[in-house]
A and B are shown apart, each in its own frame.
Chain A
Amino acid sequence: MSTRLATGGRLLDTGRAVNFTFNGKRLRGHVGDTLASALLANDQMLVGRSFKYHRPRGIVASGAEEPNALVGLGSGARFEPNQRVTTTELFDGLSANSQNHWPSLDFDVGAINAKLGRFMPAGFYYKMFIHPRPFWKHVYEPFIRHAAGLGKAPKDRDGDRYEHFYAFTDVLVIGGGVAGLQSALCAAQSGAKVMVLEQTAHWGGRAPVDGGTVDGAPVEAFIEGIIAKLQDMPNVTLRNRCMGAGVYDHGYALGYERITDHAPDVDAPRHRLWRIRASQIITATGAIERPLSFAGNDIPGVMLAAAVRDYAVNYGVSIGDRTVVVTNNDDAYRTAITLKNLGLDIPAILDARASGGGALADEARALGIRVENGKAIASVKGGKRVTGVAICAQAGEGAVLEEINCDAVAMSGGWSPVVHLWSHCGGKLIWDAERAHFRPDASKPPLGATGEGFVIVAGAANGAGDLAATLADADAAGKAAATASGHKPKNVAAPQGSASDEAPLLPVWLMPQGAGINLRMKSWLDYQNDVKVSDVQLAAREGFESVEHAKRYTTLGMATDQGKLSNINGLAILSDALNQPIPQTGTTTFRPPYTPISLAAIGGEARGEIFQPLRKTPIHGWHEENGAHFEPVGQWRRPYCYPRGEESHRDAVSREINQTRGALGLLDASTLGKIIVKGPDAGKFLDMLYTNMMSTLKPGRCRYGLMCNENGFLMDDGVVARIDEDTFLCHTTTGGAEAIHGHMEDWLQCEWWDWKVYTANVTEQYAQIAVVGPKARAVLEKLTEDDLSAEGLSFMGWKDLTLAGMPARAYRISFSGELSYEIAVPASYGRALWDALLEAGGEFDVMPYGTEGLHVMRAEKGFIMIGDETDGTVIPQDLNMQWAISKKKDDYLGKRAQERSHMADPKRWKLVGLETLDGSVLPDGAYATAAGHNANGQRETQGRVTSTYYSPTLGRGIAMGLVLDGPDRMGDVIEIPKVDGGIVKARIVDPIFFDKDGEKQNV
């Protein structure tokens, strides 16, 4: 069993106990524990079930690479699934629950899959569930959905806060081990601004556990010293609990800082996403130990050798009383020696190398440990916990030589440099045959904005084997980064780390070498995804020869750990099956993030009321106070209608329209775009932008205009007012203001840069209120001395005036067919004007109306709406708006395109009104059918509905649509199918349904 030792635990504060629960069981650990070390100290080795076969799984690693020990943490608004116990710091009150089992961790029904394992090889789901097709939706998919998935999705809204932070630095060092710290110091001594990220709570990485000396002193003292130096330097920032998550183009990197994961009671952001821009990035990300592939290597109690050592040294935890060490390299001997020195039993070290190890092996033997060269594990005994190992010769097929009782197995298959961050942005790798790993190819780094490399690798991440090599490499990396970021490195001698005399590693991809299928089917490569040696071999036999295909077919290296343990072993097996060298197989692509980061951290501050900008007019507050039902228009929220009491939206819209047509309505039109265009060439410029002639407009007058893009399609419309000889004010649609201003500037800056025109977007300078209805003039006259009579301000004119004591401009324009004035005042007066109009309009029973009322009234008048009648494929000619296209102009944007054969095709659908025979409202967007079927067997069509409303004015449904030969077919009846299968018959009519002669607005 695993237990807490009486001594040791360099990271623990043994005087301070911490209480936590696992699956409801109350347990105790110490300050400084990870959840993993605390569980192990309580003999909780079994922590979860595997993804596919629901096999019992225990903790296998001690860091970010852990594939098995994923738990759900917390509850309610703070529940989070798939948290690695090895990177979860223990805190008082932590509650963890295991995943992927039913009904309990110890007894799991799904484990039957393990018994069926031989029938569920790689590709099983693909092959099994493909036929019969109809089964997919109702039988297979629900079953797979129920069975699959890692952990449960949280149900409650996240209770924490998150944020981003933009940082800029000369040198970013990712990794706070000795390599990272030394390279940071070296770079910082040049004067460069340096930032160091360390994913754990501690500095120094593995070095304190692995031991060694620097300049003759223990490495721990070196770490303390260098941290003190770095902390004193004003140009250095150190952040721990902050993982370098990804490296991106042009020196961009993400840091994922976990601020309160270990202290949830602190009122602070939970995670902070650092958005860092660095001139140079040093990846000092260390290395990860590889498992060995032998039968039963997933049984709880089989652990990476270095992890066993970590738990003993850092947390004073023994994984078992009797630990068999199995290795192909010297490093694992350190584990044996450490445990032996702590008084624990090491029944044997099984070294797959026939020639055995170096100095560390001698040291182990001197401690009396049995060392067996050329030996391997044939199989591990036990179910939910290791009970022993059967040993065999590595060279053979697994004939058992001996069985050894033990309760833990420490395995080491060698070390793989963490090349992820080097590779994220395109850094290339080379295969180091001697050490049997991929490491960065320093001659092919990721390239930055200048075309030069911007990532430098240091230390174990670069394949450095011992402290001497690591520190020398880090020193060189720091100096190179300083130079590349424009600084001159100080000529300071690098600290001297101790060297170790290690015998070469023997690449061992399968144990024993000739393992038969029965062993290979129990030799796990990827613990998290239940991929075995036999699965990868099957994939190769079935033709999945590309490593990327084999990954997807077998799921090797997928999910939360992304193959940190399994990658190299898996592609070595694949290479072997394909009879090709490992470099030829290559690796799968390393993509950020290094380990999963929270979605909320990516979202940052963008949640709740600041999820996205919500644009408000100066009158927004009144709308809210008066129960407006809002609709989004771009980022604006505009009142759709103002329901009263229990009134339905449709009734509210009808009431608002009736009152406006009968007496007086008000519309908050502040969102309309307003752009000033000024200069000697302003008229010429607007003649190019609009299809009609704007240069002939007289000051004081307004003209409605259409704007097309160079494709000829309608993009915007609005009323242009000429302010003076040089100055125009162009109104745009609500959604179009920024885009149209950008469009204008594009043509002025990039095509006609010699034209003398300036523009300014003054959309937000003004609040604009449409005062609409037969009483519009009467109410305004109450508020002004200025002449607003039919002569004083005629239709399509504008004038400046003082209204309710405010500086205002009145445009006599109408989008409703009523007598109408749009009044603009500075935005700061907007609410005051609205209030004044409501008060003055009281005697006329004034009613504000919303966007739906606006839409219905414009449709009753046959006015088009950009986005309804247009969809990016409609030209003005389709809308019978030839009247708005100047024949006199040689050129305007879109003119040439409108001459293209398809644009001039008489068979283009044209705008008409549609009137249902039964008075009902046509479905929006519905198509009118024609005789026959097209090549796809669908009904032919002859038109579609573009706008459709209930008209309270006419007491029935009205619509506009684009119809084949429409204007020539007045009176024809077309059929429009509904979604429910019925058909509505509609008559083609003039789109102007109301007041054709404009008598109401021309008063």
Chain B
Amino acid sequence: MLILECPCCGVRGEETEFHGGGEAHIKRFGPGSSDEEFQGYLFAKENPKGVHFERWRHNNGCGKWFLAARDTMTLEVYGTYSAQTHEPPKHIREAITAKRPGWTWREFS
């Protein structure tokens, strides 16, 4: 059972306080988008063995959503950060690079 640190309230809590919300950094496509764009937005999800970016909600806590950079194989948590961003912050990307040089995920590396 994972431990996650909620960047919104500072609690380092066990997984039962949180609720996973799927992949992070998904760009929304609405009306006017092509079928391909919309399909990509709604259905095409990453399923990496290794570095992954996820949405989590501290639902049994402060109720806030946040994002986590995590390794799906080792379960290492590289860091958690605000949900109000379109890309992983630099310090998170650097923390991952320190452990997994050469990592890539969607357009990030």
Contacts and interface: CB of A to CB of B under 8 A. Distances in A.
Interface of A: 248-252, 277, 447-451, 710-711, 742, 745-746, 749-751, 753, 890-891, 895-897, 899-900
B83 interface: yes
Nearest to A450: B76
A897 B14 CA distance: 36
Contact of B65 (A250, A710, A750): A750
Given A449-B77, A745-B65, A250 B31 contact: no
A749 B35 contact: no
B74 A749 contact: no
Contact of A250 (B1, B33, B55): B1
Nearest to B59: A742
A499 B72 CA distance: 45
A277 B57 contact: no
Given A710-B42, A895-B31, A447 B3 contact: no
Contact of B38 (A750, A751, A891, A900): A900
A758 to B, nearest CB: 12
B74 A750 contact: no
| Most chain B Cβ neighbours within 10 Å, of A248, A449, A890, A891 | A449
A706 B59 CA distance: 25
Nearest to A748: B65
Nearest to A251: B3
Given A449-B2, A750-B55, 15 more contacts: A251-B3, A252-B1, A252-B3, A252-B14, A277-B3, A447-B74, A449-B3, A451-B76, A745-B64, A746-B21, A749-B84, A753-B84, A891-B30, A896-B29, A896-B33
A250 B3 contact: yes
A450 B75 CA distance: 9
Contact of A449 (B32, B42, B57, B76): B76
| Most chain B Cβ neighbours within 10 Å, of A250, A745, A750, A899 | A750
11 contacts: A249-B75, A250-B1, A251-B3, A277-B3, A450-B76, A450-B77, A710-B42, A745-B57, A750-B83, A896-B31, A896-B33
Contacts of B28: 710, 751
Contacts of A753: 83-84
Contact of B42 (A890, A891, A897): A897
B42 A749 contact: no
A706 to B, nearest CB: 17
Contact of A248 (B1, B35, B99): B1
Contacts of A891: 30-31
B63 interface: yes
Interface string B7-32: 00000001000000100000011111
| Most chain B Cβ neighbours within 10 Å, of A250, A448, A745 | A250
Can you list the 4 inter-chain pairs with the closest CB atoms, starting with the nearest? A451-B76, A753-B84, A250-B3, A749-B65
Contacts of A449: 2-3, 75-77
Interface in B17-69: 21, 28-33, 35, 38, 42, 55, 57, 59, 63-65
B3 A749 contact: no
A742 B55 CA distance: 13
Contacts, number: 68
A900 B35 contact: yes
A897 B83 CA distance: 25
A899 B33 CA distance: 11
Contacts of B2: 249-250, 449
Given A891-B30, A891-B31, A249 B38 contact: no
A448 B84 CA distance: 28
A897 B29 CA distance: 10
Nearest to B16: A275
A896 B74 contact: no
A494 to B, nearest CB: 32
Given A277-B14, A897-B38, A447 B75 contact: yes
Nearest to B5: A449
Contacts of B76: 447-451
A382 B29 CA distance: 79
A895 B42 CA distance: 13
A749 B28 CA distance: 14
B57 A742 contact: yes
Contact of A746 (B38, B65, B71, B99): B65
Contacts of A448: 76
A391 B33 CA distance: 85
B1 A890 contact: no
Contacts of B3: 250-252, 277, 449
B107 to A, nearest CB: 19
Contacts of A249: 1-2, 75
Contacts of B75: 249-250, 447, 449
Contacts of A897: 38, 42
A967 B71 CA distance: 52
| Most chain A Cβ neighbours within 10 Å, of B28, B29, B59, B83 | B28
A248 B74 CA distance: 12
A737 to B, nearest CB: 14
A749 B59 CA distance: 13
A950 B30 CA distance: 43
Nearest to A688: B30
Contacts of A890: 31
A896 B29 CA distance: 8
A274 to B, nearest CB: 14
Interface in B51-109: 55, 57, 59, 63-65, 71, 74-77, 83-84, 99
A710 B29 CA distance: 10
B30 A895 contact: yes
Contacts of B38: 896-897, 900
Contacts of B77: 449-450
Contacts of A447: 74-76
B9 to A, nearest CB: 13
A751 B85 CA distance: 9
A280 to B, nearest CB: 14
A298 B61 CA distance: 56
Contacts of B42: 710-711, 897
B70 to A, nearest CB: 9
A750 B84 CA distance: 6
Nearest to A898: B31
Given A742-B59, A750-B65, A451 B74 contact: yes
A249 B32 CA distance: 44
Contacts of B21: 746
A739 to B, nearest CB: 11
A557 B63 CA distance: 46
A448 B2 CA distance: 9
Contacts of B63: 745
Contacts of B55: 750
A475 to B, nearest CB: 29
A742 B58 CA distance: 11
Contacts of A899: 31
A449 B42 CA distance: 30
Contacts of A751: 28
| Most chain B Cβ neighbours within 10 Å, of A252, A451, A745, A899 | A451
A734 to B, nearest CB: 19
A890 B83 CA distance: 26
B3 to A, nearest CB: 5
A126 B44 CA distance: 42
B48 to A, nearest CB: 16
A803 B54 CA distance: 50
B58 to A, nearest CB: 11
Nearest to B66: A749
A250 B15 CA distance: 10
Nearest to A754: B84
Nearest to B33: A896
Contacts of A900: 35, 38
Contacts of A248: 1
A245 to B, nearest CB: 14
Contacts of A746: 21, 57, 65
B1 to A, nearest CB: 5
B29 A451 contact: no
Contacts of B14: 252, 277
